[in-house]
Amino acid sequence: MRKMFGFFILSAVSCLITSFNKPIDNHKPPKIRTIIIDPGHGGFDPGTHGLISKEKDVALEISLKLGEEIKKEFPDIKIVFTRTTDEMVGGGTTIGEGLHNRAAIANKSRGDLFICIHANSNGHPPGGYYAKRVIGYRKKMEYVGRGKKRKKKLVNAPIYESYWMKNSVVGTASYIWKADRAGFKGQAINEKDENGDGGDEINDSTAVEFDMTSPEAQMRAQLYEKMFFNNSALFATYVQDEFVKSGRESEGVLQRDKGIQVLQATGMPSVLIETGFLTNKEEEEYLNSEKGQAEVVQNILDAFRRYKDTLETSSVNNSNGNGGK
Ligand SMILES: [Zn+2]
């Protein structure tokens, strides 16, 4: 009995100490408890490729390092990876199945933020390619007209030269699910992609469609718009901001509703980060280097810290949802 009483006192005291440790608000749970990191592609789906690497491998390397760094700085945050090896997520046999598995893992883990890591392609061969250009004209005899009217005529024929065209497109971008909200007060969202004409990854395997006609999908889209759009845009803006600080090119924050349905299928703020172009030789080398990967990871980590601080100091925002509007 006495022992038990002692125990009671002890727990009461430790309770008191704990509550003094968190004097501000100890009954409110922290806003970000779980982060889902989703390395794009995997297994039979390599994504895009450069001269020396495949997107699925670059995405996985950066994702694993990002998870490690977040864990180091925020040991209380749970990190869930959709994949940690070279496989299609959840053993999916199609890309569509893989996307559903990605969303299912995120939702089952009750994530507070979904970070999708990709690398980009501009649709042209990696490194560079031969193109043709006109360097002059020469006179050439040609027959014009038909039948009796057929006659010879001197025409100007172009002289072509084939030349090496370096694949020079570089830069980062963050995609968020398109929502018709004018309320986001942060940095302007790049309007360029409003029509989904950003090219790039929309053509690759990420662009597998979810069925958007089902009532369930419509509800999810509405939920995203109401609850998660602002915070997705906020995190995406910070990510691009940090890339720019490191001297990277940035296409900014882009909205899209095709090809990235996995973002709205996850019931949480979610951002797809294009870490750079594998089709540009130097950017590919950067994304494959220790230094480059460390820098990309640091940029995303810095953006995450700012995002977390913003959410946790905001008095209006009491969930991972609608930021202060
Ligand atoms: Zn991709």
Classify residue 134: in a domain, yes or no.
Answer: yes
CA of 32 to the centre of ligand 1 (A): 26
Distance from Cα 2 to the centre of ligand 1, integer Å: 64
What's the 206 CA to ligand 1 centre distance in angstroms?
Answer: 6
CA of 205 to the centre of ligand 1 (A): 7
Reply yes or no on whether the pLDDT at 183 is more than 80. Answer: no
Q: List pLDDT tens digits, range 8-34.
A: 444 444 444 444 444 445 556 568 999
CATH number of the domain bearing residue 274: 3.40.630.40
CA of 185 to the centre of ligand 1 (A): 29
* Residue scoring higher pLDDT (20 or 276): 276
Confidence of residue 318 (pLDDT cuts 50, 70, 90): very low
Centre of ligand 1 from the C-alpha of residue 226, in Å: 27
Ligand 1 centroid vs 20 CA: distance in angstroms? 47
Per-residue pLDDT reduced to its tens digit, 133-178: 999 999 998 888 888 888 888 999 999 999 999 999 999 999 998 8
Domain assignment present for residue 308? The answer is: yes
Tell me, what's the pLDDT at 187?
44
Q: Report yes or no on 9 lying in a domain.
A: no
Is the domain of 91 the same as that of 222?
A: yes
CA of 45 to the centre of ligand 1 (A): 10
278 CA → ligand 1 middle, Å: 10
Which pLDDT does position 214 carry in this prediction?
A: 76
Domain boundary residue, one of 109, 139, 165? 165
Residues 221 and 285 occupy one common structural domain: yes
* Cα–ligand 1 centroid distance for 42 (angstroms): 10
Q: Are residues 33 and 65 in the same domain?
A: yes
**Final residue of a structural domain among 111, 138, 165:** 165
> Cα(106) to centroid of ligand 1, in Å?
18
pLDDT band at 222 (very low <50, low <70, confident <90, very high): confident
Give the pLDDT band of residue 234 (cuts 50, 70, 90).
very high
CA of 298 to the centre of ligand 1 (A): 21
Confidence bin at 258 (pLDDT 50/70/90) = confident
Residues 189 and 287 both lie in one domain: yes
Q: Are residues 273 and 215 in the same domain?
A: yes
Do 223 and 270 reside in the same domain of the chain? yes
Residue 301 alpha carbon to ligand 1 centre in Å? 20
CA 46 to ligand 1 centroid distance, Å: 9
Mind listing the pLDDT tens digit for each residue in 84-96?
A: 999 999 999 999 8
Grade residue 209 by pLDDT with cuts at 50, 70 and 90: low
With respect to residue 93, please indicate whether it lies within any of the assigned structural domains. Answer: yes
Tally the domains of the chain: 2
Bigger pLDDT: 196 vs 259? 259
Domain that holds residue 140: 128-165
Q: Residues 239, 133: one domain?
A: no
Please tell me whether residues 174 and 189 are part of one structural domain: yes
188 and 306 co-located in one domain: yes
User: Cα(119) to centroid of ligand 1, in Å?
Assistant: 6
Q: 189 alpha carbon to ligand 1 midpoint, in Å?
A: 21
Determine the pLDDT at residue 259. 79
pLDDT of residue 257: 78
Distance 55 CA to ligand 1 centre (A): 7
Instruction: Return the higher-pLDDT residue of 179 and 311.
Output: 311
Determine the pLDDT at residue 77.
97
Q: Residue 174 C-alpha to ligand 1 middle, in angstroms? A: 12
Max CA pair span of the chain: 123
User: Which of 141-155, 170-184, 202-216, 299-313 comes out lowest in average pLDDT?
Assistant: 202-216
Check residues 165 and 227 and name the one with the higher pLDDT: 165
Provide the percentage of residues in the chain whose pLDDT is more than 70.
Answer: 78
225 CA from centroid of ligand 1 (Å) = 24
| C-alpha of residue 49 to centroid of ligand 1, in Å | 10
140 and 283 housed in the same domain: no
Give the pLDDT of residue 197: 37
Same domain, yes or no: 154 and 37: no
Let me know whether 82 and 178 are in one domain. yes
CA dist 36 and 82 (Å) reads 7
pLDDT of 3 over the 50 cut: no
Give pLDDT, residue 180. Answer: 63
Determine, yes or no, domain membership for 34. yes
Domain presence at residue 4: no
Distance 70 CA to ligand 1 centre (A): 22
Q: Last residue of some domain: 138, 165, 192?
A: 165
Distance 117 CA to ligand 1 centre (A): 8
Angle of CA points 259, 260, 262, to nearest 5°: 125
Q: Is residue 18 part of a domain?
A: no
Would you say residue 44 lies in a domain?
A: yes
Comparing 216 with 294, the larger pLDDT belongs to 294
Q: Mean pLDDT for the chain?
A: 83
